[in-house]
Amino acid sequence: MTYAEDMAYAEDRITITAAEVLVSSPGRNFVTLRVTTSAGVTGLGDATVNGRELAVASYLRDHLVPLLIGRDAHAIEDTWQYLYRGAYWRRGPITMAAIAAVDTALWDIKAKLAGMPLYQLLGGRSRRGCLAYGHASGADLPELFDSVRAHLDQGYRAIRIQTGVPGLSSVYGVASSSNAHVGDDTGATSRYDHEPARRSTMPVEEEWDTRAYLRHAPRVFEAVRNEFGPELPLLHDAHHRLTPIQAARLGKELEPYDLFWLEDVTPAENTAMLRRVREHTTTPLAIGEVFNTIWDYRELFEEQLIDYVRSPVTHAGGITALRRIFDYAAVYQIKSGVHGPTDVSPVGLAAALHLGIAIPNFGIQEYMKHSAATDEMFRPTYRFTDGLLDPGEEPGLGIGYDDEAGAAHPYEPAYLPVNRLKLDGSMHDW
């Protein structure tokens, strides 16, 4: 008898009876997996890959869902290994987002069956709440200061700072009326902090000038410190745009302004480049939002080249895989700093909060509020109070999925922008 046949005879086995791939667009596109079990309990997982949603939907629908039917719903680790090793074609954002969705849905189910919020199964509560950072931005300093004040009024205790660069018409991370969440049909007038994907059949083109940025960024942080004092934790995202030596210079010049972290200074593929950066600066470094496995972190951890891990549950193979990454990071005093843009759905954010409240090496959680239409569809039960996010006490993840709302907001093509150098129009990292 094979192991699989042996397992099939186990009594009181709860099996997966259905798995649905739900693609919807309540203001922006989301790919959600809903797994149903013989016990009637369902679980949700997030598989959204911004701008490539239908690829991961197909991976799930055409290749993973048929493998799930009849499997033991409790066998989370075995299912993870079955899908990861079993694919033969390992790693990659699409594969790992699909596996993440299955893994997250199974954890949601296990916790619901246990009648506990998921964090209890991950070791229980280790802290009062998950420190969150919000996104302040402005085309210029007065606009930026208004945005910082608005975030402080909402209770944020840590704030990411992004501004326009003189001479450039639009820059990553800066909210404006022109890029404020196009397609948000909620009627909400409040602008999104920053939603880079635009609903269109072609990516928007932005322009870039690294020298102008490098001259400007330190002046921005000097002004923010002069205005808001030394206490407030400040973060900044360079969004993969610098060479190692440019990144080293930026880190060094930002040292007087005591950043909480400097994120994604160099492109993600060649992690050894961060050695050069590290040799020159004590500004803490965060990277990993586009990584998808523990292997991407090996060199960075073992050489202690970073301070924060940016992977979200959604893009790193689920709760099972991200927890393993955090345990590995803890060996080197490296902490979590989970990616939390609006393209990580409330399902993905809830998963991060259950993990974040439980692990010993939590650092900070990125938090961009979802649109009203998104929250109406997923009905999240996590709470933001006094700058801290809390996963809540509902059994499982504490997230729902409203099918009617989903059907009312079908998929619409949307893409992240592309970046060209202002100097000569060559393609640059966005």
Please list every residue from 274 through 333 that binds Co ion, using CB under 5 A.
Answer: 289
CB of 240 to Co ion, least distance (A): 8
When asked if residue 239 is in the footprint of ligand EZ4 (CB under 6 A), the reply is yes
Are the beta carbons of 232 and 158 closer than 8 angstroms? yes
Phi-psi domain of 87 (left: phi exceeds 0; alpha: psi -120 through 50; beta: other): alpha
The yes or no reply on residue 418 touching ligand EZ4 (CB under 6 A) is no
Q: Does 196 bind ligand EZ4 (CB under 6 A)?
A: yes
Choice from 237, 296, 307, 394 touching Co ion (CB under 5 A): 237
Which of 135, 236, 239, 428 does the annotation list as catalytic?
239
Distance CA 322, CA 301 (A): 14
- Residue 59 among the catalytic residues: no
Binding track, positions 270-289, relative to ligand EZ4; x by CB under 6 A: -------------------x
The pair of structure tokens assigned to 334 is: 């490296």
Q: Is 405 in the site for ligand EZ4 (CB under 6 A)?
A: no
Helix (H) or strand (E) holding 184: none
Cβ proximity to ligand EZ4: between 196 and 346 the closer is 196
What DSSP assignment string belongs to 351-417? Answer: HHHHHHHH-TT--EEE--PPPHHHHHHH----EEETTEEE--SSSBT-----HHHHHHS-----B--
- Beta carbons of 344 and 316 less than 8 angstroms apart: no
SS3 25: coil
The length of the chain, given as a count of residues: 430
Q: At closest approach, how far in Å is the CB of 81 from ligand EZ4?
A: 28
**409 is in the binding site of which of ligand EZ4, Co ion, none (Cβ under 5 to 8 A by kind)?**
none
Say which residues have a Cβ less than 8 Å from residue 148's Cβ, sequence separation at least 6: 136, 159, 161, 224, 227, 228
CB of 290 to Co ion, least distance (A): 9
Q: Closest separation between CB of residue 239 and ligand EZ4, Å?
A: 6
- The SS3 assignment for 95 reads helix
Q: Is residue 92 within a helix (H) or strand (E), and if so which, with residue range?
A: none
Is there binding between residue 193 and ligand EZ4 (CB under 6 A)? no
Residue 390 binding partner per list ligand EZ4, Co ion, none, with a CB distance cut-off of 5 to 8 Å that depends on partner kind: none
**Phi and psi angles of residue 217, each rounded to the nearest 5 degrees, phi first:** -55, -45
Q: Which of 13, 416, 418, 429 is in the footprint of ligand EZ4 by CB under 6 A?
A: 416
The verdict on 50 binding ligand EZ4 (CB under 6 A) reads yes
Provide the pairing of β-strand 388-390 with 383-385: antiparallel
Look at residue 196 and give the partner it binds from ligand EZ4, Co ion, none, a contact being a CB closer than 5 to 8 Å depending on partner kind. Answer: ligand EZ4
Cα–Cα distance, 208 to 239 (Å, whole number)? 12
Q: Which is nearer to Co ion, 122 or 306 (CB)?
A: 306
Decide which of ligand EZ4, Co ion, none touches 61; Cβ closer than 5 to 8 Å per partner kind.
Answer: none
- Nearest approach in angstroms of CB 312 to ligand EZ4 is 9
Is 415 marked active-site? no
What is the CB neighbour count within 10 angstroms for residue 206?
Answer: 19
Query: In the complex with ligand EZ4, which residue's Cβ is closer, 82 or 411?
Result: 411
The Cα 105–Cα 18 span in angstroms is 12
Is 53 near ligand EZ4 (CB under 6 A)? Answer: no
Interface size with ligand EZ4, residues (CB under 6 A): 9
Of 341 and 406, nearer to ligand EZ4 (C-beta) is: 341
366 near Co ion, rule: CB under 5 A:
no
Neighbours of 418 (CB within 10 A): 14
Task: List the one residue out of 36, 31, 33 whose CA is nearest residue 14.
Answer: 36
- The verdict on 193 binding Co ion (CB under 5 A) reads no
Give the pairing of strands 285-287 and 261-263: parallel
Could you say which of ligand EZ4, Co ion, none residue 380 binds, taking C-beta under 5 to 8 angstroms by partner kind? Answer: none
Give me the half-sphere count of Cα atoms (radius 13 Å) on the Cβ side of residue 422.
14
Residue 148 vs 235, nearer CB to ligand EZ4: 235
With CB under 5 A, what is the number of residues at the site for Co ion?
2
- Residue ranges binding Co ion (CB under 5 A): 237, 289
- Residue ranges binding ligand EZ4 (CB under 6 A): 50, 196, 237, 239, 289, 339, 341, 343, 416
Q: Catalytic site residues?
A: 172, 239
